[in-house]
């Protein structure tokens, strides 16, 4: 697929990124093209999932300010590990998994939008242009150390957000980042074994920055950074913080493991002590109902039934409901 926007579309996005109305006459003058062409560019941008208001007599506006990725800033703030930027991509995780031999530990792929993003359980992840953090990071890890890694990356995400001053965020097992019942970010960890008895690991993250109609339609209960912080935390700041925390977590996880993070994970658990049920994601059948008691030393979710019996369940084709 085409991986970079027409430079003219990108120029128009920059002009509209302040969230104010701009007339067709103003835009056509700046871009030295016709108003008809401006209207065509707007339709193309809308086709990438981004809301654009079109109001007769006022012109064009985005419903919120957006910030495109600042490649120079992100590179400067995150060091020498390779970063790969795309305007459009089918999936950052799929791209990395397809070209594993091209990456060194800590390498990242970042995109303005992805068209075929996948969440846990093969659910779709909607990614309107410029409105989310869309990032995948590569690492190598031993098979013995991979248990609980997805839960650890949820903790790393919370650490990054708290350093940015994002309030009231926690975890829904195994690694959804939420504010109360509303989902802010999802994490997908994929791995592939290597001949030298290690795992290639790709950690993919989609984090909502700007509220959009597409997002609200796609997932009831989603929330964005802008809504939580009043727009005080920028998209680029968030990318930089995530890259730093992810590299730190991955560098230390092989030695420490999920057991060392059990207490921290449970302190972030939004459903600790709550009545929940686990369902089979394939059949939809309820597996167990009871009180959620956090994770054990392996990262398994512990459920206490009414009889007082406790059972632990690993990440797989199960999903938590409340």
Domain boundaries, position 282 = 271-321
Q: What CA–CA distance (Å, rounded) separates 152 from 80? A: 24
Question: Residue 227 belongs to a domain with what CATH number?
Answer: 3.30.930.10
Do 170 and 225 belong together in one domain? Answer: yes
| Closest alpha carbon to 174 in 189, 164, 191, 192 | 189
Q: What CA–CA distance (Å, rounded) separates 87 from 3? A: 6
Do 218 and 128 belong together in one domain? Answer: yes
pLDDT averaged over the chain? 90
Q: pLDDT band for 156, please (50, 70, 90 cuts).
A: very high
Do 96 and 238 belong together in one domain? Answer: yes
Do 150 and 295 belong together in one domain? Answer: no
Do 260 and 279 belong together in one domain? Answer: no
pLDDT tens digits, residue range 273-307?
999 999 988 888 899 999 999 999 999 999 999 99
Please give the DSSP secondary-structure letter assigned to residue 64.
S
Active site residues: 120, 183, 321
Q: What CA–CA distance (Å, rounded) separates 216 from 227? A: 13
Do 184 and 153 belong together in one domain? Answer: yes
- Number of structural domains in the chain: 3
Beta strands 286-295 and 301-304 are: antiparallel
Q: pLDDT band for 124, please (50, 70, 90 cuts).
A: low
At 122 the pLDDT is 47
Answer yes or no: is 1 within a domain: no
Do 225 and 112 belong together in one domain? Answer: yes
The SS3 assignment for 20 reads coil
Q: What CA–CA distance (Å, rounded) separates 103 from 97? A: 10
Q: Which of 230, 247, 266 is the last residue of a domain?
A: 266
pLDDT tens digits, residue range 47-98?
877 889 999 999 999 988 899 999 999 999 999 889 999 998 989 999 999 9
């Amino acid at each position: 697929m085409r991986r970079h926007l027409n430079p003219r579309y990108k120029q128009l996005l920059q002009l509209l990124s302040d969230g104010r109305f701009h007339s067709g006459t103003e835009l056509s003058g700046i871009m030295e093209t016709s108003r008809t062409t401006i209207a065509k560019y707007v339709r193309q941008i809308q086709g990438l999932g981004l809301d654009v208001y079109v109001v007769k007599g006022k012109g064009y506006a985005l419903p919120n300010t957006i910030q495109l990725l600042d490649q120079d800033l992100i590179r400067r703030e995150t060091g020498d590990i390779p970063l790969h930027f795309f305007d459009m991509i089918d999936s950052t995780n799929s791209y990395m998994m397809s070209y594993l031999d091209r990456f060194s530990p800590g390498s990242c792929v970042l995109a303005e939008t992805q068209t075929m993003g996948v969440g846990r359980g093969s659910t779709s992840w909607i990614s309107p242009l410029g409105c989310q953090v869309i990032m995948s990071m590569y690492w190598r890890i031993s098979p013995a150390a991979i248990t609980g890694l997805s839960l650890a990356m949820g903790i790393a995400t919370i650490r990054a957000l708290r350093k940015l001053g994002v309030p009231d965020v926690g975890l829904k097992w195994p690694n959804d980042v939420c504010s109360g019942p509303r989902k802010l970010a999802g994490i997908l960890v994929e791995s592939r074994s290597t001949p030298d008895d290690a795992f290639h690991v790709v950690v993919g993250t989609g984090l909502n920055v700007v509220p959009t109609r597409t997002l609200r339609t796609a997932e009831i209960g989603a929330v964005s950074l802008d809504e939580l912080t009043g727009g005080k935390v920028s998209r680029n700041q968030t990318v930089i913080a995530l890259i730093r925390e992810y590299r730190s977590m991955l560098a230390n996880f092989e030695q420490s493991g999920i057991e060392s993070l059990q207490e921290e994970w449970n302190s972030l658990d939004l459903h600790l002590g709550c009545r929940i049920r686990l369902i089979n994601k394939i059949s939809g059948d309820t597996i167990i109902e009871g009180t959620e008691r956090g994770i054990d030393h392996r990262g398994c979710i512990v459920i206490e039934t009414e009889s007082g019996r406790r059972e632990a369940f690993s990440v797989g084709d199960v999903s938590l409901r409340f």
